[in-house]
Structure 1
Amino acid sequence: MATAFLRTVILYFLIMAGLRLMGKRQIGELEPSELVLTMMLSDLATVPMQDFGIPLLSGVIPIFTLLSLSMLLSQLSLRSLRFRRVLCGSPTVLIDHGKLRQGAMRKNRFTIDELLEELRAQGISNLSDVKFAILENSGQLSVLPWPTAQPPTAKDLNVKPEDSVALPVILVNDGRLICQNLKQCGKSEEWLHQQVQRQGLATYRDVFLLTLDSGGKINCIAKEESA
């Protein structure tokens, strides 16, 4: 039992380290090579987890090999545009200046129903409103409508809106004080204690979330009493 637990923990953290090397991507945003790597890593990890007769190294060595190969290919793709095009492919224009490229759609096995579905997901109901539609390497469809079909911006309306966007910093997370963020904001624990008391709470341990943005605005949410 202890052996199964230890093998599972080792392989889990090994796979997690490998996925971190791939960067912060969602499954739908993976390049083909990254998707293949993810599937192979999961298969390699499950075999030594379930079959104790297989040495752990029989799973670890192939995983390290795949991760090393992935890092090597990533470095090569950064240095060579031609190699990157071969490895990852290149984006395909499906709609060019409002004209549907049927040959490109057939080549990528992209049906008209799929195209209309993607356009509806981006708030476009008419093909004539699209100037460019590009099928990215990840399978995502980038849609650029004609200027007349785009909503007006503040620049188009000659309006100069105030920059009211302020990035909040978390100071208290579920009753835990984030000392690093508090120091970064130039505030003390005494100041925080005063702000918490103004919200009618005794201590920051009674706070579920407390944030402070760059404009000095405080947002405090108290913990709910457990039933």
Structure 2
Amino acid sequence: MFARAKSFFRYVVEGQPVTLIRNGHLYVDACLYAGLSADRLMAQLRGQGVATIDQVKFAVMEQSGQLTILKNSEKNLCFPLITDGQLNIDVLDVLGYDRTWLMDQLAVQGYTRVEDVFLAEYSDGKLKLVPYPVLSTKTTPKN
């Protein structure tokens, strides 16, 4: 419970990644929200070998301020679907899946709620889950 409360406060303080580009479409409002000018965006894209926005399948501004880019030509970049019990619907959309698919995948691995997962990564066609630890209700024996 403490870990989940802590992650909620971290979410409030640090925020979440902001999707800036999806399938070659630039979200100007998202750039402005992230404090990113057009010049700075293009400099960061060029620094990662991207000449035009049309070459970008997905670009997200991480909480750290780093720009993560998936080019149209790349296929196996790993993005987290779930972080700190929160679903990143943009990543799910970019991968071509929906919430029903994700819930089915969670069920196969024995989970019923996104909130029970600390981290879920999709890479090489597989979903890897890292759950929150289960708190034991057993008491420690006294000596």
Tell me which interval the TM-score lies in, with the shorter structure as reference length: 0.3 to 0.5
What is the TM-score of this pair, normalised by structure 2? 0.46
Q: Name the TM-score, length of structure 1 as normaliser.
A: 0.30
